[in-house]
Amino acid sequence: MEDEIEKLKKENELLKKINENKSDTISITAHQLRTSLSVLKWIFRMFISEDVGKLTNKQNELAQKAYTSSERMLALVNDLLTLSYTEDASISYNLEKIDILHLVEQTIFEFSEETNKKGINLTFLRPDTQTPMVNCDENMIRVVLQNLIENAIKYSNEGGQVFVSIKQKESDLQISVHDSGIGIKDEDKNSIFKKFFRAENALEKDNIGSGLGLFTTKSIIEKHNGRIWFENTPEDGTTFLFSLPIY
């Protein structure tokens, strides 16, 4: 019996090692890809803005296509990197008491350029009462907010409205991101948090996306012992909500 246990322990250690090596390989490759793709994107941008000389219409059209393609690949690589980080069992979260209000404000500010470009009104409905601090990994919760706000903007029409709000619900803090966008169809409801899933209406709306954002977001929230879900208002967009326990 003891021999068996010893054997299983050894096998377990070996599997852990293999898994760690796999995560390292993904992360090193993704970092290298990201650097090269950023350079490509920057070069295509220079062509499009004719910083390196005048282009014919055809050349400009091709440079635009190459730019969009490099942008799409870069988004995929970034999502893969975050995913491999969240799935890496050897990385433990750096939990500390944070002021989530401040984090929401910072994140909203980062989207100013995007919302201006799309004419979207992104508003933070600040709570009237004091919000308790929550125990979480600030960088990881920033990723969650970025993913949800990015989607709310991406899947909204020009001139749309996005509201972020926070409220305390018993021993949880509940954060919601509401948009007036394309909504989620009934037939897609059970697939939204699955790896690589992208709904038909999302593909039509924006062809840049990996289908990894919500999967990663859910796994981050669950690692904080929280919950994430969405409510769909027909004709009136979607609200994604997540709750974090207040310890």
Interaction of residue 160 with ligand ADP, rule CB under 6 A: no
- Our measurement of the distance from residue 162's CA atom to the centroid of its chain's CA atoms, rounded to an integer in Å, reads 16
What separation in angstroms does the CA of 24 have from each of 20, 29, 36, 88, 149? Answer: 6, 8, 19, 9, 29
Lookup result for tokens 């954060």: 175
Q: Does 214 bind ligand ADP (CB under 6 A)?
A: yes
Q: DSSP strand E in the chain: where?
A: 96-98, 121-125, 134-136, 161-169, 172-179, 227-232, 238-245
| DSSP states along 136-163 | E-HHHHHHHHHHHHHHHHHTS-TT-EEE
Our finding on whether 228 is near ligand ADP (CB under 6 A) is no
Residue from 122, 136, 141, 184 touching ligand ADP (CB under 6 A): that is 184
One residue of 141, 149, 192, 228 binding ligand ADP per CB under 6 A: 192
Single out the residue of 238, 242, 243, 244 in contact with ligand ADP (rule: CB under 6 A). 238
Q: Which of 29, 66, 197, 223 binds ligand ADP (CB under 6 A)?
A: 197
SS3 (DSSP) at 134:
strand
Tell the smallest beta-carbon distance from residue 32 to ligand ADP (Å). 22
Q: Is 144 in the site for ligand ADP (CB under 6 A)?
A: no
Q: Which is nearer to ligand ADP, 86 or 147 (CB)?
A: 147
Q: List interacting residues with ligand ADP (CB under 6 A).
A: 147, 151-152, 155, 179, 181-184, 192, 197-199, 202, 209-215, 238
